[in-house]
Amino acid sequence: QTVLTQEPSFSVSPGGTVTLTCGLSSGSVSGGYFPNWYQQTPGQAPRTLIYDTSTRSSGVPDRFSGSILGNKAALTITGAQADDESDYYCALYMGRGLWVFGGGTKLTVL
Amino acid sequence: EVQLVESGGGLVQPGGSLRLSCAASGFTFNTYWMTWVRQAPGKGLEWVADIREDGGEKFYADSVTGRFTISRDNVKNSLYLQMNSLRAEDTAVYYCAIWVRFSGDIRSESFQHWGQGTLVAVSA
């Protein structure tokens, strides 16, 4: 069974930089998995932030960026703001119509 | 404006059935794959199923295979999820989303535009 591992929680100071990661149990994350990142605040639907590793979705501020760091997908927030406090989920496309989500990272901005 | 509106959720007993709907508007529905993603209370997102533009291909998570059926009606611009043999662990908010597979001519894979979700509660 494929498992994506994310940090359960992370804290960043306002104006600071934070990098969240997404690891794959069966090996390395590559662009071939089209890594996606989704942001979700309590009671709201997910919002697409990043897809295809590093492409920002429409309307997403450029303080959000995606990359591959080592063998993981990464989401970096540069200049964190209070309203970035959310849950962040990575997702990989495994092929043949199958997707898998990570367990999510709860980001606190304080 | 793209809109996805889920409906059909509710309280159902274990072993029961429920049919979710997702009404789509603001885009050419029959040119996109569609997907269902769920979220159990206090838990993370879980991909459930997806369906090709013409309904000819369907894929399911292992956790729902054999119990859930995804379908679509391209005349009514609607996506469906028939859920049978429901279990307590199926309790979740169910979201529909558009699965975008190309950006122009370039291969791309992402879920864009999500509905607000519908809550399914399985309990005696």
The model's pLDDT over A7-38, given as tens digits with 9 standing for 90+, comes to: 999 999 999 999 999 999 989 999 999 999 99
Residues 6+ apart with CB under 8 A from B121: B9, B10, B11, B12, B91
Interface test with chain B among A2, A5, A7, A48, by most B beta carbons within 10 Å = A48
Contacts of A55 in chain B (CB under 8 A): 103, 108
Instruction: Give the confidence band of A91 by pLDDT, cuts at 50, 70, 90.
Output: very high
Q: Which residue of A has its CA nearest to B111?
A: A48
- Kindly report the nearest CA distance between residue B77 and chain A, in angstroms: 21
- List residues in chain B touching A: CB distance below 8 A: 35, 37, 44-47, 50, 57-59, 61-62, 95, 97, 100, 103, 108-117
Determine the Cα–Cα distance for residues B73 and B87; give it in Å rounded to an integer.
Answer: 27
Pairwise CB contact (< 8 Å): B95 & A45: yes
Chain-wide mean pLDDT for chain B? 96
- In this predicted structure, what is the pLDDT of residue B104? 83
A33 CA to chain B: closest CA distance, Å? Answer: 9
In angstroms, what separates the C-alpha of A86 from chain B's closest C-alpha? 12
- In whole angstroms, give the CA distance from residue A65 to residue B78: 34
Give average pLDDT by consecutive 10-residue segment, chain B, 124 residues: 97 98 97 97 97 96 98 98 98 97 88 96 97
**CA A21 – CA A4 distance, rounded (Å):** 10
User: What pLDDT shows up at residue B28?
Assistant: 97
Q: How far apart are CA A33 and CA B72, in angstroms?
A: 26
Amino acid at B88: A
CA distance A10 to A87: 10
Whole-number Å distance between alpha carbons of A83 and B79: 33
